Amino acid sequence: MMENIREALVKYWGYDGFLPLQKQAMECISRLQDSIVVLPTGGGKSLCFQAPAVTMPGLAVVVSPLISLMKDQVDALTECGVSAMRIDSSMSVSERDSVIARINEQTLKLLYLSPERFLSDGFVDFLKKTKLSFIAVDEAHCVSMWGHDFRPEYRQLGSLKQIFPDITIAAYTATATEHVRNDIAEQLRLKNPQMLIGSFDRPNLVYKVRPRKMILKQVCAVLDRHKGESGIIYCIRRKDVDSVCAKLATKGYSVAAYHAGMTNEDRKKNQEQFINEKVDTIVATIAFGMGIDKSNVRYVIHTGMPKSLEHYQQESGRAGRDGLEAECCLFYSGGDYGIWKSLMRDMPAEAQKIAMIKLSGIYSYCTGGVCRHKAILRYFGQDLDKDNCGACDMCLGELDCIDGSLVTAQKILSCIVRLDQRFGGNYTASVLTGSEEKRIIENNHDKLSTYGLLGDYSKHTVHDWIEQLVGQDYVEKTGEYNVLNVAEKGWDVLKGKETPRLLKPAQKEVKVSRVAADSWDGVDKGLFEALRKLRATIAGKRRIPTYIVFSDAALRDMARRRPSTLEGFLEVKGVGEEKCRQYGETVLAVIKDYCPANSLEMDVGANPETVSDELQINKPKTPSRPSKARQLAFDLFEQKLSIEEVAKSVNRAESTTTQYLVEYIKREKINNPYPWANEQTFGRIIDAVKQVGSDRMKTIFDFLDSEIDYNQIRIGIACLRNKA
């Protein structure tokens, strides 16, 4: 069975492997065991049931809560040549009849249904007479009142096990808590379900957090890094949506608004324009996003702090579903904390307590000085197994701690004490910076020993530090006026027993994350753009979203491999037989037009060396057999010819030839780079790898003061890997 599944992956989806836990999830279905699969957004849950459905006899029924989700998945499956249909309330009687006919013909592999349709009397009887392979319940947290999206219709699914006692049920969700998981098992009456729980880390999301100052400028800076790409800007309030949207439009950005105050029609229109890439950016309240499956959202910006990390994870999680790098920027201010707190004032005591705990959780995330990936995972009870994620502002070194955090924190804390813990952050910052405001003089606070202690810094900076101390639980804000109090941990700082981390708002350039560097490696951006245009044209003609035609990952792989034949095109990740048949010639025409005109080589092998192991998913497919040029190059390397010589003989660029060499080194398990790199160079590379690891070429390159070129580093690392 797993062999058949592998074949189906290649044939229909153009994938050559599994994402984490996908294989285990499919194995459960094939051995007819119930299962609960918890994977984050973008973790590849749908394939877990789609692939077995294709290979097993009978019809798989998929329960899904939203028409938009069903439609998206059915469209995507149809594009891949898989026989799938849906029945929902928006369809006409004759449309429904044609689905029934297909079921009766026994040619349909997947049927998507809402829970109420599934369990309607007539339909249950009909399905009882149909051979079912298994039942998949998507968004399964909807059965649980503990989840964030309880749907009473889902509760009825508890009767499935009675109606279809012999049919396996597989449930899928991205919701992390144990409580919800157990509730799903119980509500669906699963029999001895296998629980498969993935890591909640989203390594391809690059998290950045900054205090909010001149928000429009901050937002534009992000947009300018993503020209022509799709993204979402979340605002807390409707009126912010309108004003941000209007201002961006005036500046010439391609934007549309979305919030609950608009007419249904306008909302729908804007959403469609976003999905079909007629506008780049949607500016929205959190009303936007549910049921949006657009896989190539490249950035999510929050112009204010959400009220919990759960919310943040869900909203930011809409970025980068395709596994490619995406940027999540959060701009916060201490004021956001105050707004949420006041909104929570009228909640019942117990609920308020929970809400406050969540609020301080996200606030710590904003102000805290730890790796963002680590912070989020810890919040959800998991751990990150690496010290440097390479994908957040902390780990990328965009933010630095100030020298002497301890002393500075002590100055701030003692000022709070001297002010009898009766003043807020703004006032305290004024005193510390030695402001001559009237109220300070009148209060005689210019006589305090802490007055002007931080006079070398701006009031803004000092205020930021105070917020950071709040976020790290050294200071508490109390009462209606957010009066500062020294918290328990704060007294330890005063005694010198603990050191907070205070960030220096560094004016550093924005760094390219490792994920971005890797997934663009070898990709010709001009060709990528040309292919993107082609994709938009195809999508427009066929009236389907662009990402269903080809994912961004597939486009990049095309612009990396630049195939000139249909055979080569099939090697592209995300291209199965059906897509090859439908679009192969059109795509090849663009490639064959573009490459010669831009002196670009075609039929390049993929470049797997730069992709670190944990990012296997982005790893382009390696060609199954060496091309002629590659084989010849291997033979010449065997004779120890230099790269220049080999490049000439095989008529390939030196970069491609180096790539062949790297593959050769790997295949032959060579661990000494001579004659392609000298001993001294190799020694320096080894030292560099010891210091900074081998995950990222760029880091090594920088570490070596740009003195050793990338090709040499590549060769060195390839050899090093064989030493281990």
Residue 395 binding partner per list ligand ADP, Zn ion, none, with a CB distance cut-off of 5 to 8 Å that depends on partner kind = Zn ion
Distance CA 611, CA 314 (A): 27
- One-letter amino acid at 650 equals V
| CB neighbour class for 492 (10 Å; exposed up to 12, middle 13-18, buried from 19) | middle
Question: Which CB sits closer to Zn ion, 202 or 560?
Answer: 202
DSSP 3-state assignment of 435? Answer: coil
Kindly state whether residue 302 participates in binding ligand ADP, applying the rule CB under 6 A: no
Closest separation in Å from C-beta 402 to Zn ion = 19
Distance CA 602, CA 604 (A): 6
Q: Tell me the per-residue interface mask from 581 to 620 with ligand ADP, x by CB under 6 A, - otherwise.
A: ------------------------------------x---
- One-letter amino acid at 54 equals V
Closest separation in Å from C-beta 43 to ligand ADP = 4
Interface with Zn ion (CB under 5 A), residue total 5
Cis peptide before 57, with omega less than 30 degrees from 0?
Answer: no
Distance CA 502, CA 202 (A): 26
Q: Tell me the per-residue interface mask from 512 to 551 with ligand ADP, x by CB under 6 A, - otherwise.
A: ---------------------------------------x
Question: Which CB sits closer to ligand ADP, 23 or 311?
Answer: 23
| CB neighbour class for 137 (10 Å; exposed up to 12, middle 13-18, buried from 19) | buried
Residue 617 binding partner per list Zn ion, ligand ADP, none, with a CB distance cut-off of 5 to 8 Å that depends on partner kind = ligand ADP
User: Taking CB under 6 A as the criterion, which residues in 549-578 touch ligand ADP?
Assistant: 551
Closest separation in Å from C-beta 719 to Zn ion = 29
Exactly one of 15, 134, 253, 365 binds ligand ADP (CB under 6 A); which one? 15
Question: Which CB sits closer to Zn ion, 184 or 395?
Answer: 395
Closest separation in Å from C-beta 713 to ligand ADP = 28
Q: Which residues contact 465 (CB under 8 A, 6 or more apart)?
A: 408, 409, 412, 502
Kindly state whether residue 42 participates in binding ligand ADP, applying the rule CB under 6 A: yes
Distance CA 91, CA 396 (A): 50
Tokens of 115: 């829970």
Question: Which CB sits closer to ligand ADP, 46 or 699?
Answer: 46
Exactly one of 18, 200, 253, 637 binds ligand ADP (CB under 6 A); which one? 18
Kindly state whether residue 47 participates in binding ligand ADP, applying the rule CB under 6 A: yes
Estimate the share of the chain in helix, then strand, then coil, as percent rounded to the nearest 5.
50, 10, 40
Question: Which CB sits closer to ligand ADP, 172 or 637?
Answer: 172
CB 391 within 8 A of CB 204: yes
Closest separation in Å from C-beta 268 to Zn ion = 38
Closest separation in Å from C-beta 8 to ligand ADP = 11
CA nearest neighbour of 141 among 310, 335, 369: 310
Kindly state whether residue 39 participates in binding ligand ADP, applying the rule CB under 6 A: yes
Cα first-last separation, the chain: 35
Give how far Cα 400 sits from Cα of 72, 330, 375, 575, Å: 43, 18, 17, 43
Distance CA 100, CA 24 (A): 32
Closest separation in Å from C-beta 273 to ligand ADP = 22
Exactly one of 61, 392, 661, 718 binds Zn ion (CB under 5 A); which one? 392
CA within 13 Å, CB half, 174: 19
- Tally Cβ neighbours within 10 Å of residue 268: 12
Residue 281 binding partner per list Zn ion, ligand ADP, none, with a CB distance cut-off of 5 to 8 Å that depends on partner kind = none
Closest separation in Å from C-beta 556 to ligand ADP = 12
Question: Which CB sits closer to ligand ADP, 200 or 258?
Answer: 200
Question: Which CB sits closer to ligand ADP, 401 or 538?
Answer: 538
Q: Tell me the per-residue interface mask from 320 to 349 with ligand ADP, x by CB under 6 A, - otherwise.
A: -xxx--------------------------
* Phi-psi domain of 522 (left: phi exceeds 0; alpha: psi -120 through 50; beta: other): left
Residue 46 binding partner per list Zn ion, ligand ADP, none, with a CB distance cut-off of 5 to 8 Å that depends on partner kind = ligand ADP
Residue 267 binding partner per list Zn ion, ligand ADP, none, with a CB distance cut-off of 5 to 8 Å that depends on partner kind = none
Q: Which one of the spans 303-311, 395-403, 460-468, 661-669 is the region binding Zn ion (CB under 5 A)? A: 395-403
Kindly state whether residue 44 participates in binding ligand ADP, applying the rule CB under 6 A: yes
CA within 13 Å, CB half, 235: 20
Question: Which CB sits closer to Zn ion, 371 or 595?
Answer: 371
Kindly state whether residue 371 participates in binding Zn ion, applying the rule CB under 5 A: yes
Question: Which CB sits closer to ligand ADP, 257 or 553?
Answer: 553
Evaluated on CA atoms 439, 445, 446, 450, the torsion sign reads negative
DSSP code per residue over 676-700: TS-HHHHHHHHHHHHHH-SS-HHHH
Kindly state whether residue 395 participates in binding Zn ion, applying the rule CB under 5 A: yes
Nearest-5° Cα angle at 95, 92 to 98: 150
What does R_g of the chain's alpha carbons equal in angstroms?
Answer: 28
Closest separation in Å from C-beta 708 to ligand ADP = 34
CB 499 within 8 A of CB 190: no
Tokens of 314: 């869900």
Residue 321 binding partner per list ligand ADP, Zn ion, none, with a CB distance cut-off of 5 to 8 Å that depends on partner kind = ligand ADP
Positions touching ligand ADP (CB under 6 A) are 15, 17-19, 22, 39, 41-47, 295, 321-323, 551, 617
